[in-house]
Structure 1
Amino acid sequence: MTAKIERVAAIRWIQAQMADYGLTMEELKAAGCFEPPPPQPPPPPAPPAVVCYRNAEGLTWDGEGEMPSWLKRAVNAGQSVGFYRVG
């Protein structure tokens, strides 16, 4: 079925339901049938990232994705990544 045919079928079904139950447009409006739907609740917050590496300035990295520039600079200067490991 095309979208246009489905739409026509849906309208006819609604009209039939209104006739079967004796509903009027005014009753449907009063019941809030034409109000916009309520907004969806926001998604729950993401869990905090687990800190795996931290430097003396408090900059952190969770070990996921690309290594941050502060840690790259330290490694390039000869420091081991393990030096910054937390825990």
Structure 2
Amino acid sequence: MDERKRDSMIAYLRHRMDDFGISPDDLATFLATEPAGSEMGRYRSAGGDTWSGEGEVPQWLRQAISAGQSIGHFELQCGALAQPATRTGADWKNDPFAGSPLARSSHR
């Protein structure tokens, strides 16, 4: 990633953190207290349901797959946050990343 894109992404993330009232200290505290992968499944629905990938496939995932959705769509990336953002009040209508992979996983 070139330096300009990196700086742009940092500015965007800082702006979104401000929208949700997340300080850099909040983020650092969360990362320091939550071991990687704790209470996190391998797959997560838009509603926050998770599945580890072991045992019986949960109903929400079976339904999505039956409807034609790829299981990979629900797979979490390494280092993903355990819960989706639930705060309200952010204005997403002018989001420059709307429709991109960045927008799909961060605010649904």
TM-score (normalizing by structure 2) = 0.35
Greater relative contact order structure (CA < 8 Å, 6+ sep)? 2
